[in-house]
Amino acid sequence: MIKWHFNIITTMISFWSCCVFSQVNCTVPESPLLTSVSVQPETGKTDFTWTPSPSSGIAAYILYSYKNGDGLPIDTIWDPAATSFTISTAATKYFSVSYVVTAHRLSAVPGLPGCTSPLSNDLSTIFCTTVIDTCNKKISVKWNKYKDYPKRVMEYKILVSANGGPLTEMYTVPASEDNYTISDFTTDSQYCFVVRALLEDGTVSNSNKSCLSTKMQRPPGWINADHASISSDNKISLSFTIDPLSEIRLFRLERKNSQSGTFQEISQPASVNGNVQFTDSKTDINTVNYYRLSAINSCNIPATVSNISSNIVLSLKKADDDIILSWNSYKKWLGMVSSYRLFIDSGKGFEEKESVSGSDTVIILSYKDIMYDVSGSEICFYVIASETSNPYGVSGQSRSNRICTEPIEIITVPNVFTPDNDLINDYFRPILSFTPIDYHLIISDRKGIVLFETRDFKSEWDGNYKGNPSQQDVVLWFLKVTTPSGKSISKTGTITVFHNK
C-alpha cells in the first residue's frame, strides 16, 4: 500500500517537471549599449540613444532610472527597431539622473512572461548649477562630469543666454574640469547657462539650463575726495562726494601719516545724501596726513576707492624784516589747484591778503607792509587751496593749519629834525613798527615848558610852539606806549631842532 502511493507521487512530480521545462521557451537576450543621454535645455526633456541588442527576436526596449546597482523601469518602447527615445521628467532640473536600458524578448509560449537582457551600461545626465558671488562679481558654473564610455568626452562648452536671448557657446573648458568662473557679465541682468559635453564622434550631451539674476548691490562708479581741511577748532575736516547711483551706504575711511606709510582704518562712516563727512581729532595737524575712502560691499570687501586727500601744513620763518610763509602743495585732487589764497589776522579777524597760482607754495611778506595793521598780540596766517576742473563738478577747498608769530615791536626815535619847510625832515615823531594800544608823546624844552603833546601815534610835531617856530635848540621828549602784545614801554631822550636857514 505504501509502495503504491510512492510510485504515484514520483510519477506526478516527473510529469510536472517535464511540462514546466517544456514551457520555458525564452532565451535571455544580450544587452543593448546605451550611447548617449542628453537633456533638452529649453524643455527639460531627456533624449536617449542606444545601439540595438545583437540578439534576434527583440520585441521592446525598456528604460530604467539607475541607482546603487538597481534599475527602476520608467518606460517601455515596443519597437524592436528603436534606437532612440525621449521622456519628460522634472528630475533633471534638480539633480543628475542615471539611466540604463535593456532589451526584451517575448516568450514562445503565449500567456507566459518573456525575458529581459541584463542592464546595459549606465549614463548620467549632466547637472549644471550656477552661483553668483556678488561681492567679487563672479559667477561660478559647476557640473558633474559626463562618463567617457562608450564615447570619450573631448571638451565642455558653456552656453550662455542673456535676458532671454538665444543660448550661445561662449566658453570652452577642458574635459578634465568640472567648473568654470565667469566675471565678464553685466549686472542687473538675467543669465542662463548650459554645459555641453562634446563627444569624440561629434555628438553632444547637454545639461539642464541653470538661470540666475545678476542683480547686486550697485557700487559707486566713483568717490571724490572733496577736501582735507583744518577746521577752526584745529581738527582735520574731511569730505567725500559719492556717485549718486551707488547702492552702497557703508564706507571705510583710512589714514596714513606719510607717503610711504600703510593705510590704517580709522572709521566706518555712512553716507548721507551722497556725502560722507568726518572730523579727525586724533592726529597732528602740523604733519601731512593722507586719507582715502572705500565703499564696502555686503561681504566687507572694498568695491570702489576714492582719490587720496591730504591736509596742508603751513610753516613760517623770519628773515630780517621779512616773513616767509611756505606749505606743501595740495595733491591728488581729481581736478587741479587753481590758486592759494593767504589770509592774515593782525588783530581784527582774518582777511584775505593776497593770492598766488596753484604752482606756488611760498609767499614772502615785508613786515613794513603790514606793520600798521597789527593791533593784536600776534599775527596769524593760513592759506586756502581751491580746486578747479573737477570731473564731477565738485569745487574743493582745503584750509591749512593756522600759524602765528609775535609782532615785530620796534620803536625808532630820530635825534634831529629840520623844521624849515624845505620838505625834508620837517616833522618829528617816533617811528613804530606796530599800531599801539596806548600812546603818549610829550616834547618840552630844558625849562620844562611843554612844546608839543599828543596821544595820536600818527601826529607829528612841526617844530612850532603856539604858532611860532621854536628856536634852534636841544629839546626833551618822553614817550609811553602800550604795544599790541600788551607790553608797556617808556622811553625818553633828546632831539636837536636845527634850522638850515
Q: Which has the higher per-residue pLDDT, 131 or 23?
A: 131
Q: Which has the higher per-residue pLDDT, 8 or 433?
A: 433
Q: Which has the higher per-residue pLDDT, 203 or 17?
A: 203
Q: How far apart are CA 160 and CA 53, in angstroms?
A: 38
Q: How far apart are CA 499 and CA 495, in angstroms?
A: 13
E strands along 231-289, which residues?
236-242, 251-256, 264-267, 275-280
Per-residue model confidence (pLDDT) at position 407 = 83
Hey, is 161 helix, strand or coil? strand
Per-residue model confidence (pLDDT) at position 434 = 80
Q: Domain spanning 314-405: which superfamily?
A: Immunoglobulins (2.60.40.10)
If one looks up domain 128-213 in CATH, what number appears?
2.60.40.10
Average pLDDT over residues 370-399: 91
Band of pLDDT at residue 8, cut at 50, 70 and 90: very low
CATH, domain 33-124, list 3.40.50.261, 3.30.930.10, 3.40.640.10, 2.60.40.10: 2.60.40.10
CATH 2.60.40.1220-classified regions of the chain: 411-497
- Looking at CATH, the fold of the domain delimited by 411-497 is given as Immunoglobulin-like (2.60.40)
Cell triple for residue 50?
Answer: 542606444
Average pLDDT over residues 398-411: 90
Q: Which residues pair with 143 in a beta bridge?
A: 128
Chain centroid to CA 210: how far? 31
**Model confidence, pTM:** 0.60
- pLDDT > 80? residue 165: yes
| Structural element, H or E, at residue 345 | strand 336-345
Q: How far apart are CA 173 and CA 179, in angstroms?
A: 8
Phi, psi (rounded to 5 degrees) for 111: 90, -15
Find the range with the poorest average confidence among 10-14, 190-194, 460-464, 496-500: 10-14
Band of pLDDT at residue 9, cut at 50, 70 and 90: very low
Q: How far apart are CA 51 and CA 348, in angstroms?
A: 103
What DSSP character marks residue 334? S
Handedness of CA 210, 211, 215, 219 (dihedral sign): positive
- pLDDT > 80? residue 24: no
CATH 2.60.40.10-classified regions of the chain: 33-124, 128-213, 223-310, 314-405
Hey, is 446 helix, strand or coil? coil
Per-residue model confidence (pLDDT) at position 17 = 35
- Looking at CATH, the fold of the domain delimited by 223-310 is given as Immunoglobulin-like (2.60.40)
Cell triple for residue 293?
Answer: 575712502
Per-residue model confidence (pLDDT) at position 297 = 85
- pLDDT > 80? residue 501: no
Report the share of the chain in percent with pLDDT over 70.
95
169 contact partners, CB below 8 Å, separation of at least 6: 157, 158, 159, 196
- pLDDT > 50? residue 493: yes
